[in-house]
């Protein structure tokens, strides 16, 4: 198959994110919450936004696979296709917190090559693709070049996720070692790493739609990302990403 036109794909991803905003923002702080079979929350906004995203992305290539959190897989998107999460951080969204995100990634030959993180309530959009760098609202971004953990701001996901992923010991080590170890969780935290405000992050117990956009964006912003895939063990994905020197040091804390 010919390679994707990533600039055209980027325009399509932004149009899809615009369509999602139109479904999400009118429902923000005005929506009821239901519980899915896996125990996670879902709202009418999640469902409407994913439908809108899928409709726009189909215009790029109607035969391209799509994997979304709410409506599942249509083909093998983890090999070639779109991977989407209409609202990452539904718990916060449902509680009226403005740190939720829409995630869109494009995968080619098993590798994410384009990523978009949209923070609708903050009006901040981060997008990038292979060979083009990363921009937030049009301004170029670079990941932190910090090298010392002792003076770094490191973000993490929820503690119970580290329990489920088998990384609780590493979490406790960092919690006791670092003066600035903060729970800027979900894709909001990912976006802060890409902008350099957070030096690195450890986020675990993730699904492909939580990880794919970040996997595409981090290298383009000058950072390093390590993906730990435990799906063969019945678990999920883990990410360590940010300043290359810090990622190396953080990886040591989580070696089993």
Q: Which of left, alpha, beta for 186 (phi over 0: left; psi -120 to 50: alpha)? A: left
Alpha carbons 120 and 117: distance in angstroms, whole number:
9
Please state, for a pLDDT cut of 90, what percent of the chain lies above it: 93
* pLDDT tens sequence across 140-174: 999 999 999 999 999 999 999 999 999 999 999 99
Q: Binning pLDDT at 50, 70 and 90, where does residue 256 land?
A: low
Cα–Cα nearest to 61, from 16, 115, 112, 128: 16
Query: Are the C-beta atoms of 186 and 99 separated by less than 8 Å?
Result: yes
Query: Are the C-beta atoms of 78 and 107 separated by less than 8 Å?
Result: yes
Cα–Cα nearest to 194, from 246, 241, 248: 241
User: 145-177 burial, b if ≥16 CB within 10 A, otherwise e?
Assistant: ebeebeebbbbbbeeebbeebbbeebbeebeee
Please report the domains of the chain, with CATH numbers, ordered by start residue: 6-140 (3.30.540.10), 149-253 (3.40.190.80)
pLDDT higher than 90, residue 51: yes
Please state, for a pLDDT cut of 70, what percent of the chain lies above it: 100
- Quote the pLDDT of residue 36: 80
* pLDDT tens sequence across 103-122: 999 999 999 999 999 999 99
Q: What is the mean pLDDT of residues 86-106?
A: 96
Instruction: Please say whether the dihedral angle defined by the alpha carbons of residues 10, 132, 86 and 23, taken in this order, is positive or negative.
Output: negative
* pLDDT tens sequence across 201-232: 999 999 999 999 999 999 999 999 999 999 99
Cα distances (Å, whole numbers) of residue 239 to 54, 190, 224, 236? 26, 10, 10, 10
Alpha helices in 25-125 (DSSP H): 44-58, 90-94
Alpha carbons 168 and 16: distance in angstroms, whole number:
37
Q: What is the mean pLDDT of residues 77-106?
A: 97
Quote the Cα angle for 70-213-41, to 5°: 30
């Amino acid at each position: 198959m010919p390679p994707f036109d990533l600039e055209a794909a980027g325009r399509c991803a932004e149009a899809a994110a615009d369509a999602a905003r139109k479904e999400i923002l009118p429902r923000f702080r005005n929506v009821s919450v239901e519980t899915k079979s896996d125990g996670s929350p879902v709202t009418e906004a999640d469902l409407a936004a994913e439908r809108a995203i899928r409709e726009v992305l189909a215009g790029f290539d109607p035969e391209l696979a799509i994997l979304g959190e709410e409506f599942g897989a249509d083909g093998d998107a983890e090999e070639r296709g779109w991977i989407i999460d209409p609202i990452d951080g539904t718990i916060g969204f449902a509680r009226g917190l403005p740190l939720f995100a829409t995630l869109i990634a494009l995968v080619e030959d098993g590798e994410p090559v384009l990523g978009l993180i949209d923070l609708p309530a903050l009006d901040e959009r981060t997008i990038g693709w292979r060979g083009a760098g990363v921009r937030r609202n049009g301004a170029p971004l670079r990941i932190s070049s910090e090298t010392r953990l002792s003076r770094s701001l490191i973000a993490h996901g929820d503690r119970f996720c580290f329990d489920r992923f088998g990384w609780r010991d590493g979490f406790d080590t960092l919690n006791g070692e670092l003066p600035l170890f903060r729970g800027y969780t979900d894709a909001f935290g990912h976006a802060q790493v890409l902008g350099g405000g957070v030096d690195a992050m450890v986020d675990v117990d993730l699904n492909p739609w939580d990880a794919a956009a970040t996997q595409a964006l981090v290298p383009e912003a000058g950072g390093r990302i390590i993906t730990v895939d435990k799906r063969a063990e019945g678990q999920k994905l883990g990410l360590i990403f940010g300043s290359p020197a810090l990622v190396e040091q953080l990886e040591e804390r989580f070696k089993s």
